[in-house]
Chain A
Amino acid sequence: MQYFLQQLVNGICLGGMYALMSVGYSLVYSIMNFSNFAHGGVIMVGAYVGYFTLTALGCPFFVSFLLCGLGSGLLAVIIERLVYSPLRKRHAPSLYFIISAMGASIFLENFVIAAIDGTPRNFPTLFSNSINIGGISLGVDSLMMIVVSVVALLVLMFIIQKTKVGLAIRACSYSEKASTLMGINGDLVIFTIFLMGGVLAGFAGMLYGMRFIVRPTIGQVTNKSFVAAVFGGLGSLPGAIVGSVLLGVMEIFVASFNSNLRDLFVYGLLILVLVVKPSGLMGKVVEDKA
C-alpha cells in the first residue's frame, strides 16, 4: 500500500512538471491554432538564466525565479516578433508556423551550445530536504512545481475570465478575424499570450533545473508535456493540467511495471487520442490538431 502511494505521489510530481510546461503549449494553441514547439527552447533558456543568476550573480532564489520568468517572457515575445509575426502578416498556413517553431527550437539549442557549452550543469542545492508523511517522501522542489502550476493556472484563468485583455483573448480564440474587425488589437493579444507563456516557461525551466539538471537538450523533455497537452485537450488550460497529472501518474505506473514500456505507452496514447478523440479530455472540437 505504501509502495502504491509512493508511486502515486511520484506520478503526481512528474505530472506537475508536465503541467507547468503544457500550459504554455495550450495557451498559444488556443489563440493561434498551432503547437509552439519553440516552447521547449524557451524553457531551456529559462533554466540557464536561473543557473547563472544563482551561481554567477549570487541572486537569492526568488529574485532569480522572477528573472527566469522575465528572461523567458522576453525571449518568447522576441521569437514571436521575429519568427511568427512575419508569417502571420501574410496569413501563412499553420504548417509554416510549426516548422518555424521547430527551427526556432533547434536554433536555441545550438545557440546555447555555441554561446555557453554543452556541459551539463547542476543547480546549487536550494531545497534538498524532502517532506515525509507516513513513509511517503515528496521533494520540496516537486511540491513547488505543482503549486506553481496550479497558481499559474488560477492567475491565467483570472486574467482570461475577468480582465479586458482576457476578454480580447477569448474573443480572438473564437475568431481572430472578426475580433480584429471589432477593433481588438490582435497584435496586443498575441503579445500578451506569448509573454504569459514565456513567463511560465521561465518558471518551469528554473524548477526543472533544480529538480534535474541544466543542459541544452532540456527542451526535448517538453515532448511529453506536449503529449499531455494533447491528451488533456489542446487549447484548454484546465485540460492541460488534468492531462498532465493523469499522464504523469499513468507513466509512473507503467514504468514501475516495466520501465521499457514507458515511452511506448506515452506515444501510443498520443496516437490513440488523436485517432479516437482528437479534442482530448477537455479541448474544443477542431479538425486539424498539429
Chain B
Amino acid sequence: MRKSMKKLLALTLACLMLLGLMACGEKGGDGGSGGGDTIKLGWMGSLTGDQAAYGKCESQTLMMLVEEKNAEGGILGKQIELICYDTKGDAQEAVNVAKRLCAQDKVCAIIGPNASGQCIAIQSVLDEYKISDMSTVATNEKVTMQDGVLKEYNFRVCFLDPQQGNIAGSFVKDYLKFDKAAVLYDVNDDYALGLKDNFIRVFEEKGGTVVAQEGYTNGDTDFTAQLTKIKEAGPQIIFAPIFYQDYIMMHKQARTLGIELPFLGGDGCASEVLFDAADELDGSYVINHVSLVDPTADAYRARYSERWDGAKMELNGYMAHDAFLLWCAAVEKAGSDDPQAIAKAYCEVEVDGMAGHIKISPETHNPIGKSGCVERIDGENKTYVFETYIAAE
C-alpha cells in the first residue's frame, strides 16, 4: 500500500516537472490586465535554441526603443507596454505564444518571430484574432502570400528568399565572374530550400553551372562526407543558405579537409558569432539586408551597446528598429490601438529606416524596391568588408 502511494507521488511529481518544463523559458508579461492606459505591443522570437542570438538582439532592441519612446512621452499620449515571449525556435511553440499574446495579453500588434517557419505557422492565430504581425527577418515567400492569396495579417520589413537567391546568383556570376558553384543546404528547412532553388535558377539562367548539390538534416554536425564530395566536383564557391552555427562548422571541417574555397551564405549566416571562428571564415561572403559596418548607423550601434553592457548588435537589431518605426507610424496614422486599424495603416505609411526607405505594398505586404548587400569576412581584422549592393529585382 505504501509503495503504491509512493509511486503515485512520484508520478505526480514527474507530471509537475513536465509542466514546469513547458512553462519555463517564458519571460516578462505579468498577465493581461487589459487596462486602457497603455498600448500593448507583443514580440515573439527565439530566446533559447539555435537562433537565440538573433531573438535576444531583437527583443533587446525593442526594449531599448520602447524605453526611449516612453521617455519621450510614449505614443498617442500613452505609454507602450512591450510583452516578449520565447518561441524556442519552434513553430509549434510560436503558435502557442501567438495565442497567448492575442487572447490573454490582448496586444494591438505583434513584431517577430525571427524565422520564416514560425511566421508561417502563426497565420491562423493572427487571422482568428485579427491582429497583425510584422516580421523582421522572415524571408520565405509564404510568409505573406500562399498560393497567390494574400495573408491579411502578415507583413514584413525585409526582402524575400527569391530576391535573396537572385542576389546570390547575380553576385556569383556577375560580380565574382564564377562559372561553377556547389550548394550545401539543410533539406528540412523552408528557408534553405527557398534560397537554394532561386539561386540555382538565377545562376543557371545566367549561364553558370551548379556542379554539386548536397543536403543534410537539421541537427547534423558532421559534413565531411558532403564536403569531400563537393571537393571532387571542383566548384569555385560553395553556396550555403543556412544558419550561422552550421556555417561555422562547415568552414572548420572544410579547412580541415583542405578545401580553401570561399562560401557564400544568406542573411541567416550574418552574425557576430562568426568572428569567433575568424581564421576559418576569412574570405567567405555573407548576404545581408544592411551593411553591418555602415558608418551612418554608428550612433545607433553605440546606443544599443551602452544599454546592453557592450553587447554587439546583430542584423535583427536593424530590422526590429525598422519594424518598430513602421508600427509607431501605423499607430499614429490609425489614431488608436485598434489592431485592425493598425493592420490597415501599415500599407499607408512610409518611413526611413536603417535599411533604407520602406513602403509596404498593399498587394503583397512586402516592402517595395529593396536591395541586398554582400559583405566579405575579413578574418584577420575580425570585421565585415563591404563588397557591393545588388538589386533584388
**Interface residues, chain A, with chain B CB atoms under 8 Å away:** 3, 6-7, 10, 13-14, 99, 103, 106, 110, 113-114, 117-122, 124-125, 128, 130, 132, 137-139, 141-142, 211-213, 215-217, 220-221, 251-253, 255-256, 259-260, 262-263
Q: Which among A132, A212, A213 is the interface contact of B258 at CB below 8 angstroms?
A: A132
B224 within 8 A of A: yes
- Say yes or no: A110-B24 contact (C-beta < 8 A), given A10-B225, A128-B255: yes
- Say yes or no: A212-B249 contact (C-beta < 8 A), given A118-B48, A255-B226, A256-B225: yes
Q: Closest residue of chain A to B52, judged by CB?
A: A118
Q: Closest residue of chain B to A129, judged by CB?
A: B256
Chain B residues contacting A110 (CB-CB under 8 Å) are 21, 24-25
Chain B residues contacting A117 (CB-CB under 8 Å) are 48, 52, 56
Distance in Å: Cβ of B158 to nearest Cβ of chain A = 22
Determine whether the beta carbon of B52 is less than 8 Å from that of A259: no
Chain B interface residue count, CB cutoff 8 Å, equals 43
B9 within 8 A of A: no
State the CA gap A14–B249 with chains docked (Å).
Answer: 14
Determine whether the beta carbon of B255 is less than 8 Å from that of A211: no
Determine whether the beta carbon of B245 is less than 8 Å from that of A213: yes
Distance in Å: Cβ of A55 to nearest Cβ of chain B = 9
CB neighbors of A among B1-25 (8 A): 14, 17, 21, 24-25
Determine whether the beta carbon of B17 is less than 8 Å from that of A10: no
Chain A residues contacting B221 (CB-CB under 8 Å) are 212-213, 221
Determine whether the beta carbon of A259 is less than 8 Å from that of B226: yes
Chain B residues contacting A212 (CB-CB under 8 Å) are 221, 249, 252
Q: Which among B46, B49, B245, B257 is the interface contact of A137 at CB below 8 angstroms?
A: B257
Chain A residues contacting B229 (CB-CB under 8 Å) are 256
Chain A residues contacting B252 (CB-CB under 8 Å) are 211-212
State the CA gap A7–B227 with chains docked (Å).
Answer: 10
State the CA gap A260–B219 with chains docked (Å).
Answer: 13
Main secondary structure of the interface of B (DSSP, over half): helix
Chain B residues contacting A220 (CB-CB under 8 Å) are 219
State the CA gap A126–B345 with chains docked (Å).
Answer: 54
Distance in Å: Cβ of A215 to nearest Cβ of chain B = 7
Q: Closest residue of chain B to A254, judged by CB?
A: B225
Determine whether the beta carbon of A142 is less than 8 Å from that of B24: no
Determine whether the beta carbon of A260 is less than 8 Å from that of B276: no
**Which of B63-71, B149-157, B210-218, B292-300 lies on the face that meets chain A?**
B210-218
Can you name 25 A-B pairs with beta carbons within 8 Å? A3-B228, A13-B224, A14-B222, A103-B17, A110-B25, A113-B25, A114-B24, A118-B46, A120-B244, A120-B248, A120-B273, A122-B248, A128-B255, A130-B257, A213-B221, A213-B249, A217-B50, A217-B219, A220-B219, A252-B225, A253-B225, A256-B228, A259-B187, A259-B214, A262-B216
Determine whether the beta carbon of B47 is less than 8 Å from that of A259: no
B232 within 8 A of A: yes
Determine whether the beta carbon of A118 is less than 8 Å from that of B273: no
Q: Which among B48, B214, B276 is the interface contact of A121 at CB below 8 angstroms?
A: B276
Q: Which among A128, A213, A215, A262 is the interface contact of B217 at CB below 8 angstroms?
A: A262
Determine whether the beta carbon of A119 is less than 8 Å from that of B224: no
Determine whether the beta carbon of B258 is less than 8 Å from that of A259: no
B37 within 8 A of A: no
Determine whether the beta carbon of B21 is less than 8 Å from that of A106: yes
Q: Closest residue of chain B to A103, judged by CB?
A: B17
